[in-house]
Amino acid sequence: MRKYRTLLGALTVGSALIFTPVASALAEEVRVPVGSQADRKQADLPRHGATQASVRAAWGAPMEIQGPVGQPPISQWHYQTFVVYFEGDRVIHTVLKPNR
């Protein structure tokens, strides 16, 4: 019985040593530039709590509207450089689109 445990332990350690370099060789490195959106000002975006009417008055009609979906109702208004997320009639978040 002890012989089998020793053999099993050796096989486990051996397979770990064999597959670790393979797994690390397959890993992909993803780089995201820090501050890549720093050149665009947050002041030029809809603020949390703003109404849909005030967003439309300041930035015009969105290119696309998605939703509302769920409860509470969440909708997205897509503009050229940003997306505004609404809960009901109020802005909950604004996200810049990546520079391309």
Name the band, by pLDDT with cuts 50, 70 and 90, for residue 47: very high
Q: Are 83 and 74 in contact (CB under 8 A)?
A: no
User: Would you state the pLDDT for residue 98?
Assistant: 85
User: Would you state the pLDDT for residue 27?
Assistant: 74
Average pLDDT estimate for 6-26: 62
Q: Which residue has the higher pLDDT, 1 or 62?
A: 62
Q: 15 pLDDT exceeds 60?
A: yes
Name the band, by pLDDT with cuts 50, 70 and 90, for residue 35: low
User: Cα–Cα distance between 93 and 42 in angstroms, integer?
Assistant: 12
Name the band, by pLDDT with cuts 50, 70 and 90, for residue 8: low
Q: Which helix (H) or strand (E) holds 87?
A: strand 82-87
